[in-house]
C-alpha cells in the first residue's frame, strides 16, 4: 500500500464489514438497489460493479489465497473493476451507459490504479477478503469518499455459477462471502416471479434473435441442447428461464434454511411502492442512518454520483437489439421510471398473455404464496389439467414473430432476412420439442414441486 494511505487502509480493513445482496432471480433490481445507496455516508458501493463473489468463485473456486498475477489480469480486464481501473474507451463508455450510468462521472482512475497496483503487484499472493476490500477502498479513494464514516461495503451476487438448471445451485458466492466476512449482513432481494420471467424472456428473445436462438451455424447445437435439456442462455428462452427461476428459488430457500435468521428478505415491489418506509426498515436492520434524500418526493437515484438513467430488459440503453421480436419500452417511459415507481411493479401484466400468466402462476405457485403475491388467473396456482395443457401448447409471446419482424430483416440485408426465414422453417420442430420437454418436467419429473419445502436433488453447501 502507498505510504500516504497505509493508516487509512489498515483502519478500513479492521473496521469495515460487508453487506451481501443476493438476487437469486437476477431480475429483482440489484442495480436500482445500488443506486439508492450510492451516496450513503456509511456504505460504499459501486453501481458499475456487480457480482463480485460470483466472478471470484467462477475463476478461483473457493480458494481464499489467490495468485496476484492471475488476480490482477482477471480483475482489471474481465471483471467490472476494469471500468474504474482502465482509462475511458468506447467499450467501457457503452457498458456504463448500459448500466444507466454516466461515463463522464468524476473518477480518479490514476489514483485507483496506483492504490490497487501498489498492493496486488507488490506481493505474490493476496487473500480473497483483502482483494474485495482493496477494490472498494481504491474506488472510495478514487471518488473522494470520506472513509472515516464507512462501516460497510455493499456487494451484489447471484447464487448460480453457470451450473445446470436441472440441479440445485451450490451457492458458492454465499459460502465465499461468509468465509471472508463471517458477520456479514445478508440481504435477499426478491421479485414477483411472473415479472422475473417476463423480463428474462423479453431480453433473451431479442438478444438471441428469436425464441430458440436459431441462426446460421447454431441449428444443430440448439436442437441438441433442447433434446438433452442441456440449456443455456442462448437456448430456448422461455424454457431456460422457467427452469432457471425454479432452480434458483429452490436453491435460495435451501440456503436460507441452512442459515436461519441471517437473511433479510426485501421485495422489489415494497422498495418501489413503499420506498421510504422500506428503507427505514432496512436501515434499522443494518444499524445505519436513514438518508434524508430518500424522503424527498422526487428522489433521484445516482450512479457514481451522477443521475441514474435506468436499466433493464425493456430499456433501449440496456437491450441493444431494437429490432427483435418483442418491443422495448419507449425511451420516454424508460427515462420516467428510473426512480421508485409503481409502473415497474405491474409492467409484467401487459408483457405476458393470459395463458402465460396462468402457466407461471401454476409453476411458481409456491414462491408466489410464500412471498405474499396476489394471483390473477388461477386460484392460488391451482389449474385443471386441460387448462394447463392449453397454456403449455399455445404460443409464447415472441415465439412466432409477425410480419414487422420479417420486414425489418429485409431492411437489414439478405443475410438477416435469410436467418429470419430459417427461424420460421425451424419453428415446428423446436415448437413441439420444447413443449414435450416442459410437459414431461411438469407431469413426470414434478420439477416444479418442493421449491419452498422439501428440495429435489439436494446439494449440500460446501
Q: pLDDT averaged over consecutive 10-residue blocks of the chain (462 residues)?
A: 83 97 94 96 97 97 97 98 97 94 97 96 96 98 96 95 90 97 98 97 95 95 96 96 97 96 96 96 97 92 94 74 84 78 94 97 97 96 96 97 93 94 96 98 95 55 36
**According to the model, what pLDDT value does residue 457 have?**
40
**What is the structure's pLDDT at 338?**
79
Q: Are residues 284 and 225 in the same domain?
A: no
Does residue 151 share a domain with residue 231? no
The CATH number that applies at residue 74 is 3.40.50
Residues 337 and 373 in one domain: yes
Task: Give the helix/strand (H/E) hosting 263.
Answer: strand 263-267
Evaluate whether residue 333 is within a structural domain. Answer: yes
Give residue 297's pLDDT: 84
176 found inside a domain: yes
Condensed to tens digits (0 to 9), the pLDDT of residues 88-144 reads: 999 999 999 999 999 999 999 999 999 999 999 989 999 999 999 999 999 999 999
Q: Is residue 307 part of a domain?
A: no
Residue 453 lies in a domain: no
In this structure, the answer to whether residues 206 and 167 fall within a common structural domain is no
| Predicted pLDDT at 459 | 38
75 and 129, same domain (yes or no)? yes
Residues 206 and 338 in one domain: yes
Question: What is the predicted pLDDT for the residue at 361?
Answer: 98
For residue 462, tell me if it sits in a domain.
no
Assess if residue 65 is contained within a domain. Answer: yes
User: For the whole prediction, is pTM greater than 0.85?
Assistant: yes
Q: Are residues 349 and 398 in the same domain?
A: yes
351 and 204 both lie in a single domain: yes
Query: For residue 337, what are the domain limits?
Result: 193-258+314-443
Helical H runs in 16-51? 30-36
d(CA 71, CA 332): 41
Report the C-alpha gap between 27 and 189 in whole angstroms: 9
| 361-365 long-range contacts, CB within 8 A, separation 24+ | 361/194, 362/388, 362/391, 362/448, 363/242, 363/246, 363/442, 363/448, 364/193, 364/194, 364/197, 364/245, 364/246, 364/249, 364/448, 364/451
pLDDT at 336: 76
Chain position carrying cell 420486414: 407
Q: Which grid cell sits at 80?
A: 467490472
Residues 70 and 153 in one domain: yes
Domains in the chain, number: 2
Residues 203 and 287 both lie in one domain: no
In a domain, 459, yes or no: no
Residue 380 cell numbers, joined: 392460488
What's the pLDDT at 337?
76
Q: Are residues 381 and 425 in the same domain?
A: yes
Asked, for residue 431, whether it belongs to a domain, the answer is: yes
The 3-state DSSP class for residue 194 equals helix
Residue 456: per-residue pLDDT:
41
Report pLDDT for 454.
52
Task: Give every CB contact of residue 379 below 8 A, 6+ residues apart in sequence.
Answer: none
User: Same structural domain for residues 285 and 390?
Assistant: no
Amino acid at each position: 500500500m502507498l505510504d500516504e494511505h497505509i493508516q487509512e487502509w489498515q483502519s478500513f480493513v479492521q473496521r469495515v464489514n460487508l453487506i451481501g445482496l443476493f438476487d437469486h432471480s437476477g431480475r429483482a433490481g440489484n442495480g436500482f438497489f445500488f443506486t439508492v445507496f450510492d451516496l450513503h455516508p456509511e456504505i460504499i458501493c459501486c453501481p458499475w460493479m456487480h457480482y463480485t463473489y460470483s466472478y471470484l468463485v467462477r475463476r478461483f473456486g473457493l480458494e481464499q489465497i489467490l495468485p496476484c498475477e492471475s488476480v490482477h489480469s482477471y480483475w482489471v480486464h474481465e471483471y467490472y473493476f476494469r471500468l474504474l481501473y482502465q482509462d475511458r474507451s468506447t467499450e467501457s463508455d457503452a457498458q456504463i451507459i448500459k448500466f444507466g450510468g454516466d461515463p463522464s462521472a468524476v473518477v480518479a482512475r490514476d489514483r485507483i490504479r496506483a492504490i490497487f497496483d501498489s498492493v496486488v503487484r507488490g506481493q505474490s499472493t493476496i487473500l480473497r477478503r483483502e482483494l474485495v476490500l482493496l477494490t472498494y477502498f481504491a474506488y472510495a479513494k478514487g471518488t473522494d469518499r470520506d472513509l472515516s464514516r464507512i462501516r460497510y461495503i455493499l456487494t451484489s451476487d447471484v447464487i448460480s455459477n453457470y451450473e445446470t438448471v436441472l440441479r440445485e445451485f451450490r451457492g458458492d458466492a454465499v459460502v465465499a462471502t461468509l468465509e471472508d466476512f463471517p458477520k456479514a449482513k445478508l440481504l435477499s432481494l426478491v421479485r414477483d416471479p411472473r415479472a422475473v420471467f417476463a423480463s428474462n424472456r423479453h431480453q433473451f428473445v431479442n438478444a438471441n434473435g428469436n425464441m430458440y436462438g436459431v441462426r446460421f451455424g447454431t441449428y444443430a447445437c440448439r436442437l441438441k441442447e433442447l433434446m438433452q435439456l442441456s440449456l443455456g442462455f442462448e437456448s430456448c428462452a422461455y424454457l431456460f428461464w422457467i427452469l432457471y427461476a425454479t432452480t434458483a428459488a429452490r436453491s435460495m430457500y435451501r440456503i436460507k434454511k441452512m442459515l436461519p435468521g441471517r437473511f433479510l428478505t426485501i421485495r422489489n415491489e415494497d422498495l418501489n411502492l413503499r420506498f421510504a418506509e422500506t428503507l427505514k426498515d432496512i436501515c434499522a436492520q443494518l444499524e445505519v442512518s436513514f438518508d434524508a434524500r430518500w424522503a424527498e418526493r422526487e428522489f433521484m437515484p445516482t450512479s457514481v454520483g451522477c443521475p441514474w438513467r435506468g436499466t433493464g430488459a425493456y430499456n433501449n440503453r440496456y437491450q441493444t437489439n431494437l429490432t427483435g421480436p418483442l418491443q422495448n419500452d419507449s425511451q420516454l417511459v424508460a427515462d420516467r421510471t428510473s426512480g421508485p415507481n409503481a409502473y415497474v411493479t405491474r409492467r409484467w401484466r401487459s408483457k405476458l398473455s393470459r395463458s402465460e400468466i396462468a402457466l407461471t402462476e401454476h409453476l411458481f405457485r409456491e414462491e408466489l404464496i410464500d412471498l405474499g403475491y396476489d394471483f390473477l388467473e388461477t386460484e392460488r396456482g391451482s389449474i385443471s389439467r386441460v387448462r394447463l395443457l392449453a397454456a403449455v401448447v399455445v404460443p409464447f409471446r415472441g415465439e412466432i414473430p409477425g410480419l414487422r419482424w420479417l420486414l425489418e430483416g429485409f431492411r437489414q440485408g439478405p443475410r438477416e432476412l435469410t436467418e429470419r426465414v430459417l427461424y420460421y422453417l425451424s419453428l415446428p420442430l423446436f415448437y413441439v420439442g420444447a413443449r414435450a420437454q416442459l410437459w414431461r418436467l411438469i407431469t413426470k419429473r414434478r420439477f416444479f414441486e418442493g421449491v419452498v419445502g422439501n428440495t429435489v436433488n439436494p446439494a449440500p453447501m460446501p
